[in-house]
Amino acid sequence: MHIPDAILSPAVAATTGVIGVAGLMVCVRRVQEQLRDRTTVLMGTMAAFVFAAQMVNFPLFPLPISGHLLGGVLSAVILGPWAGAVVIAAVLIVQCLLFGDGGLTALGANFVNMGLIGSVCGYAIYAPIRRAVGGRTGVLVGAMGAAWFSVILASGAFAVELAASGTGTGFLTVLGWIALVHAAIGLGEAVITGLVIRFILSMRPDLIYETVPPDLPPVRRWGQILLAGLGVSLAVAIFLAPFASEYDDGLEWVGAKLGFIKEEKTVFSAPIPEYKLPLHGLHHIKVATAVAGTVGTIVVFTVAFSLARMLTPASHTAESTRDINDRQGVDASGHGENI
C-alpha cells in the first residue's frame, strides 16, 4: 500500500501533501487534549509494533502476491483515532526517510490513505459496531470489521489518486483490481488485528481506548508496559520479519499488471534501502533484515515516544508526577495498594 515516487502527478502529490499536513495538525491538536502517561507510553509502543508488523509480509496463496498489516484501526482501537493517526504518521516518516519504503513525494498520499483513512475513518466504522454489539465481543467484532473496511477504503483512495494523476489507466479497471486484491489482504489485516485485540482483552482490557471497565484500577505500571511492548515489537522484527514473503505487495502486483508501475524511481537514496543494513561482513539477507528491523523499531519508538512527550503539556506532567509521589507516599505508610 506504500505508494512509491513517480506514480502520482506533481499536482496530486502536492494536494495530498497539503491534506496530509492539515490532517496531521488536526490530529496533533486533538492528541494534546488527551495526552497523559497512558497515551504517551502507548504511542511509542504501538508505533514500534506497527512498524515491526508491517515488515512481515504474508503471502496470498495461490497468487504471487503478499500483504502486510496497515495498523490504522489497531492503533485507533488502543489509542483513539487521533493518536492512532499520529502513530501511523511516525511509522510512515521513518519508513520513507530511513528505508525508502514509500516515496518521499507520495508521503502525503500514504498518510492520507493509511493514517487518516486507516485510523480516523477506521475508528468511525469501529465505534458504532462496538456500541451496537456491546462488551468485549463488540470491541473484537468492531475492530476486525473496521480493519477490513479500512484496507478497502485505502485502496479505493489510491485508485482515485491515480486516476486524478492522469496515468491513462482506466479508473474502474484500477479500482476493480486494487479492491479485489486488497479485499483478500484485508482479511489478513482483520485476522492480525483480531488476534492482537483478543490478546489485549484477555490480559489488559484497560488498555482499550474508551472501554475501561469501571471496576478496574487505573493503569500504573507504565514502565512494565513500555518494556513489554517494545520487547514484543523487537521480537517480531528480529524473528518474523526475516522470513516475510518476498512476493510483490498488492499495489506493486496490480501496478505491474496494469502497467502504471514499470520501475520504481526514488528522489533520494535511503540509508538502509529495502530493510537491509549495509554493514561490512553482514551478507546474510535474514541477519541484515533482522538488524535493520531492530534499528527501525527502536528509531520509530523513539520518534513516537519523544513526540508524545513533547506534546504533553507541562501541567499534565507535573500533575502525573505529583500523583505518582502521592501514591508512593500512601504505599510507604502502609495504607494503600502497591503500584
Collapse the DSSP code of 100 into the 3-class scheme (helix H, G, I; strand E, B; otherwise coil) and give the result: coil
Of 127, 122, 123, the closest CA to residue 152 belongs to 122
The answer to whether residues 37 and 83 touch, using CB atoms and an 8 Å cutoff, is no
Domain residue limits, the chain = 16-330
Model confidence pLDDT, tens digit, residues 295-318: 999 999 999 999 988 887 654 544
pLDDT tens sequence across 249-291: 999 999 999 999 877 777 788 899 888 877 666 667 788 899 9
Which amino acid, 193?
Answer: T
CA dist 155 and 127 (Å) reads 22
| Nearest one of 228, 205, 246, 198 to 57, comparing CA atoms | 246
Its pTM stands at 0.89
Query: 159: which 3 cell numbers?
Result: 485508485
Contact 46, 137 (CB under 8 A): no
- DSSP sequence for 268-286: S--SSGGG----TT---HH
Angle, in degrees to the nearest 10, between helices 81-99 and 285-311? 140
- For residue 34, the model assigns a pLDDT of 75
**CATH fold group of domain 16-330:** Arp2/3 complex 21 kDa subunit ARPC3 (1.10.1760)
Q: Whole-angstrom distance between the N-terminal and C-terminal Cα of the chain?
A: 43
* Residue 111: HSE in the Cβ half-sphere, 13 Å Cα cutoff: 32
DSSP 3-state of 304: helix
- pLDDT for 313: 64
Separation of alpha carbons 246 and 286, rounded Å: 12
Tens digit of each residue's pLDDT (9 = 90 or more) over 86-109: 999 999 999 999 999 999 999 999
Q: Quote the cell numbers at residue 225.
A: 508496559
Position 335 confidence tier, pLDDT thresholds 50, 70, 90: very low
Say if residue 330's pLDDT is above 80.
no
